[in-house]
Amino acid sequence: MKARGFFACVLRTFGWVVVCMLLLTSGFQASGASSLTKVTVAVATAQFATSVSPYSSIPKFLGYWQEEGLDVTVLGVAGSAIAMPMILSGQVDFAFPGTPWYLAVVAENPDVVAYYCLYPHNQFRIAVRENSPFLGLRDLKGAKVGVPDLASAAVVYGKAALRSVGLDPERDVEFLPVGNQAVQIAYALLRNQIEAFIGFDNNVGGLEALGVRIRLLSTEFDKRLGCGLVIATKRSTLANQRRVAVGVARGIAKGTLFALTNPEAAVRIHWRVYPETKPVVAAESEALRRGVMELKARLETMRIDNTPKKLWGYVSEDTFQYYQRFLYTYQQIKRIVPFREAFDDSLIPEINNWDKASIAKQAREYKGP
């Protein structure tokens, strides 16, 4: 199905429901009492694992967005394929989609643009059980492959990776949605409902925290793919609401540094904001151990201290275009968009203009929940 047709179908199905949800929250409206600018963002997952805390609970709970003059409402939606049409329709102001789905949209619609890279490193993982007979991607022919959901960027990535070894992902494998939570994925793997899983770094961290022994199937792209998640918005929003765009991204950058410095505090904050995400286990220490392992797996993808520029949100033209060529070569996007049209890096210096030492100190000394 063509991307544009798929998006139209999504909008018909979910549009009116989302519109009703957002009537009071969407758009850049000043909040009367506080004079904060109201902003709505969409996170491309309906299940808020601890790994999304740097761009959901932490900047909101610690006031990083408020310091930027923003009152941010965070919505979880079932995948990047849902988040992208919500930008185009004006139902949300910003979204954090997986780069594969973002590139599929920008290749056909010049009205959207990305301006911040949340994951400098490749976050995708292809996992099988440790004793699985599958030793490489080619062995997955005929397999049932689990994914978080069918609208996930992991599906786009997985199809390209399978094509790279000569498989036809439309005929040779069956994609099955199993959810984004480690317990859901573990259940599907251990019950042989799926034989492999294509998902994300935090999924692997969560499985390992549960004691599930897995093995990763490597690809030739693992070390080259970067910038797996972006902040995307309408091009007109970026032009007319620069302060807001910078504020959204700067709050996330601060939240990421806080989590890197004190992941245990980050997990506790996330549970405070989203109590339903806390694992139901007998011991508090066990729940915390699982949450921290899952978050740390994601933070390895988000860290910038091992990148050439060491700037929050930065991605090089070479890295970004390599991602496009990968998806184009294996038939997941319609064309390669020039870098300056697909990614606007002009806000990166301003986004990075804040006191990193004070945020790191705050994280180290944090005595909250």
- CA distances from residue 153 to 1, 100, 101, 103, 188 in whole angstroms, order as listed: 15, 6, 6, 10, 20
pLDDT of residue 21: 40
pLDDT of residue 223: 83
CATH 3.40.50.970 corresponds to the domain 124-216: no
Q: Do domains 3-121+227-277+304-364 and 124-216 have the same CATH topology?
A: yes
Average pLDDT over the chain, rounded to an integer: 90
pLDDT of residue 132: 96
pLDDT at 18 over 50: no
CB neighbours of 49 closer than 8 A, spacing ≥ 6?
Answer: 180, 181, 202, 206, 277, 294
Mean pLDDT across 208-217 = 95
Regarding predicted confidence, which is higher, 111 or 9?
Answer: 111
Among left, alpha and beta (phi > 0; psi -120 to 50; other), residue 281 is beta
pLDDT of residue 104: 94
pLDDT of residue 294: 95
Per-residue pLDDT of 26-67, as tens digits, reads: 444 444 446 999 999 999 998 899 999 999 999 999 999 999
pLDDT of residue 282: 66
Nearest alpha-carbon partner for 6 in 143, 116, 155? 155
Contact predicate 108/4, CB 8 Å: yes
| C-alpha span between 260 and 109 (Å, rounded) | 35
| C-alpha span between 115 and 52 (Å, rounded) | 19
Contact predicate 68/61, CB 8 Å: no
Mean pLDDT across 312-335 = 96
Four-way CATH pick for 3-121+227-277+304-364: 3.40.50.620, 3.40.630.30, 3.10.100.10, 3.40.190.10: 3.40.190.10
Contact predicate 366/265, CB 8 Å: yes
pLDDT at 160 over 90: yes
Which of 4-13, 105-114, 131-140 is predicted least confidently? 4-13
Per-residue pLDDT of 69-104, as tens digits, reads: 999 999 999 999 999 999 999 999 999 999 999 999
Per-residue pLDDT of 258-293, as tens digits, reads: 999 999 999 999 999 999 999 887 688 999 999 999
Mean pLDDT across 217-239 = 93
Q: pLDDT-based confidence at 7, cuts 50/70/90?
A: very low
pLDDT of residue 280: 82
**70-76 and 144-147 as β-strands: parallel, antiparallel, unpaired?**
unpaired
pLDDT of residue 34: 62
- CA distances from residue 235 to 114, 164, 180, 232 in whole angstroms, order as listed: 9, 33, 30, 9
pLDDT of residue 24: 35
- Percent of the chain exceeding pLDDT 70 equals 90
Angle at 273 between CA 268 and CA 279, to 5 degrees: 55
Per-residue pLDDT of 331-340, as tens digits, reads: 999 999 999 9
| C-alpha span between 339 and 345 (Å, rounded) | 10
Where are the chain's structural domains? 3-121+227-277+304-364, 124-216
